[in-house]
Chain A
């Protein structure tokens, strides 16, 4: 029976009802236990999925890891791929923290990428720093505008933001598809893409042939600032209060409406910048499938990190390695690289179910010992 379901009122990702132990050590032990369980579950799934394809699991995984983090170049390549994802995940997480489920990251990334591609191609060429700044600012502005609009609808009219952001994805992506197929299409290319951006709108490479660019510094700054806003600043505190209990927040004088719109605006701005990074670090233009599924990855990663900025960064790093390793595995075997997405979806379920699994096991054990006792 789940009478608790109504009593506790709100669902949560994990076992929240238990009072927190006073000692730091046991909290750390709990955290480590959680991590060990998640890693174990992930590894188990990976082994099963790879064995099912008829390969030796452990050597295959090791060769994949070798591809992902085996040398400075491969680490740089892994990191370069993950840069937009870091920014997008931070963006999604900060909205979650204030109770706003921004599932529209995908659409905001597309909008940001489009804005950066247009500013990069049609303004300039000019001084690189300024040009990049303009691109990033334009994409941040458009992302913030979209997300803040949806946040305003939620704050002012109580329009469910989950569904509105979900639907906004399709509307935005189709609108971008319209732009690149009709008015803004590069006539010299078959597929739907915009004209390439000027060279001054591209980040320069740090390590040759790895696509690791100076954008990494921007990403570090953005992550640090987002962490500070979320965890240390007054406004972040207001946002967290709003997320945990809007009624309480309103009672103590926090402007809930402003908190919701503000956190969505920042969330959208970060997602927009993630889109800009796709254009200005590697692609150099907007095309119809530029950001495929990065927004969705960010949604899952922010969820598994429970919207905590630091653990979100760690999870994105782990996911980047997984993703890159999956590419490596795909090269030495016929295991498709989609295995990394399957694993991350499986891990989030395993992580959310961990407490429940242990409770069920304990119940089964109790029932077993009781039945033994009767005999």
Chain B
């Protein structure tokens, strides 16, 4: 059963960045400003985790600084899409490409390296092995031996489930997307809700990126998010605003990614194994469109008239 345990363990590990990114994006879906730039935000998060970690020589401070940078970026992004009226789709695409170029630019400017930054000085997130539980076959692999961000991501799922049921904030976020006039009439601030959704998005994307760079690999490499953000985006679209389904979809994608890590090259070509999460997301997209009454959710694209 060792192989199965290893599969489950890496499945949980690989679920973490997808789950964090999907949780990040969910409020932006509520406010109808679905941020498709989360791939770029994750890439910046991964970069920030390594760079700030090196700078402070402490993984905790590094991640804290990354999250603060994420919050500031979220405020700027929110300002740009609410006050400056930039279409969120356009801003998101630009952010993805900007992040890919800017991280390479900064790597070469500050560290003089091309492509990959790996350094023994990069601190990595500790892994917690929980005594007794770690020896139980299946449960041990799932529960024990992960980074703090993995546990945090599941705490956040619980918090979000609670928040959706009980808090006014979530209702206001949803109102800002579905019926801004009603929210404004009720004394809420639509723009503030839209900005907060983006701040949440960037802060959590920073964590998702940090989990990739200092939680799993202890290095930064060019384009290391490699479409994970888009897989998370698919999870957000599938879940139709429901946190529980979001978690389920993220786990499915995480397990699909784990197949690529665990499967033997002799069994199937590694590229096909790597393709699995994207193929599952693609098929899911079709199934969703076929089964839902309103024909699936559309990403808000701009018209090209001007």
| Shortest beta-carbon distance from A60 to chain B in Å | 14
List the A side residues contacting B67 at CB < 8 Å.
none
List residues of chain B with CB within 8 A of the CB of A164.
Answer: 282, 285-286
Contact between B286 and A349, CB atoms less than 8 A apart: no
Q: Is the CB of A163 within 8 A of B181?
A: no
Q: Do residues B299 and A353 form an inter-chain contact, with CB atoms below 8 A?
A: no
**Bound form: Cα–Cα A169–B230 in Å:** 11
Query: Which residues of chain A from 134 to 190 have a CB within 8 Å of any chain B CB?
Result: 153, 157-160, 162-164, 166-171, 174-175, 177-178, 181-182
Stretch at the interface among B19-27, B46-54, B91-99, B197-205: B91-99
Asked if A1 and B86 make an inter-chain contact with CB atoms under 8 angstroms apart, the answer reads no
Would A10 and B86 count as touching, CB distance under 8 A? no
Residues of B within 8 A of A157 (CB): 286, 289-290, 295-296
Size bracket, chain B contacts:
35 or more
B305 contacts which chain A residues (CB < 8 A)? 12, 16, 244, 306
- Whether the pair B289, A103 counts as a contact (CB closer than 8 A) is no
> CB distance A12 to B295 under 8 Å?
no
Within 8 A of B (CB), among A41-71: 49, 52-53
| Assembled-state Cα–Cα distance A338/B102 (Å) | 7
Q: Which residues of B contact A169 (CB under 8 A)?
A: 227
- Tell me the complex Cα distance, A5–B303, Å: 14
Chain A CB within 8 A of B278 CB? yes
Main secondary structure of the interface of A (DSSP, over half): helix
Contact pick for A160, options B86, B278, B289, CB 8 Å: B289
Which B51-98 residues have C-beta < 8 A from chain A? 80, 82-91, 93-98
Q: Which chain A residues in 201-247 approach chain B with CB under 8 Å?
A: 243-244
Given A167-B282, A296-B97, decide whether A3 and B184 contact each other with a Cβ distance below 8 A: yes
Q: Check B302 for interface membership: any CB of A closer than 8 A.
A: yes
Inter-subunit contact B190/A3 (CB<8 Å): yes
Q: How far is the CB of B193 from chain A (nearest CB, A)?
A: 10
- Cβ-defined contact, B90 with A13, below 8 A: yes
Which residue of the partner chain A has the closest CB to B189? A1
Q: B194 — nearest CB in chain A belongs to which residue?
A: A2
Residues of A contacting B285 with CB < 8 Å? Answer: 159-160, 163-164, 167
Query: What separation, in Å, do the CA atoms of A175 and B296 have in the docked complex?
Result: 27
- In Å, the complex CA distance between A97 and B301 comes to 12
- CA A339 – CA B105 in complex, angstroms? 7
Is A99 within 8 A of B286, CB to CB?
no
Residue among A11, A96, A97, A345 making CB contact with B101, cutoff 8 Å? A345
When A and B form their complex, what is the total count of cross-chain residue pairs whose Cβ atoms lie within 8 Å? Answer: 203
CB of A307 within 8 Å of the partner chain:
yes
**Interface bits B266-295 vs A (CB < 8 Å: 1, else 0):** 000101101100110110011001100001
Flag if A101 contacts B84 (CB, 8 Å): no
Q: Are A163 and B234 in contact (CB under 8 A)?
A: yes
Q: Report B-chain residues with C-beta under 8 Å of the C-beta of A303.
A: 90, 93-94
Indicate if the CB atoms of B290 and A96 lie closer than 8 Å.
no
Of the residues B36, B104, B300, contact of A338 by C-beta under 8 Å: B104
Residues of A within 8 Å of B271, CB to CB, are: 174-175, 177-178, 181
- Residue A6 CB within 8 A of the other chain: yes
Bound-complex Cα distance A2 to B83 (A): 9
**Selected interface stretch from A72-80, A108-116, A250-258, A355-363:** A355-363
- Contact of A178 with B297 in the complex, beta carbons under 8 Å: no
In this complex, the interface size class of chain A, counting residues with CB under 8 Å from chain B, is 35 or more
B298 at the interface (CB under 8 A from A): yes
Q: Are B299 and A163 in contact (CB under 8 A)?
A: yes
Tell whether B306 is near chain A: CB-to-CB under 8 Å: yes
- CB of B108 within 8 Å of the partner chain: yes
Min Cβ gap B138→A in Å is 31
Residues of A near B278 (CB, < 8 A) are 167, 170-171, 174
Contact (Cβ within 8 A) A53 B109: yes
Residue of B nearest to A153 (CB): B286
Residue interface bits B161-197, CB-to-A below 8 A is 1, else 0 = 0000000000000000001110010000111001000
| Cβ contacts A to B, 21 pairs, < 8 Å | A2-B180, A3-B180, A3-B190, A12-B87, A13-B87, A16-B305, A101-B299, A157-B295, A159-B289, A160-B237, A163-B230, A163-B237, A174-B272, A243-B304, A244-B303, A293-B100, A336-B105, A342-B105, A348-B94, A355-B85, A356-B85
Q: Which B residues fall within an 8 A CB radius of A?
A: 36, 80, 82-91, 93-98, 100-102, 104-105, 108-109, 179-181, 184, 189-191, 194, 226-227, 230-231, 233-234, 237, 269, 271-272, 274-275, 278-279, 281-282, 285-286, 289-290, 295-306
A11-B300, A303-B90, A353-B85 known, 19 other contacts, Cβ within 8 Å? A2-B180, A11-B89, A101-B89, A157-B286, A160-B237, A162-B298, A163-B281, A166-B227, A174-B275, A177-B271, A178-B269, A334-B108, A336-B108, A338-B108, A341-B97, A345-B98, A345-B101, A349-B86, A349-B90
Give the 8 A-B CB pairs with smallest separation, nearest first: A356-B84, A158-B295, A341-B101, A345-B98, A178-B271, A353-B84, A307-B304, A356-B85
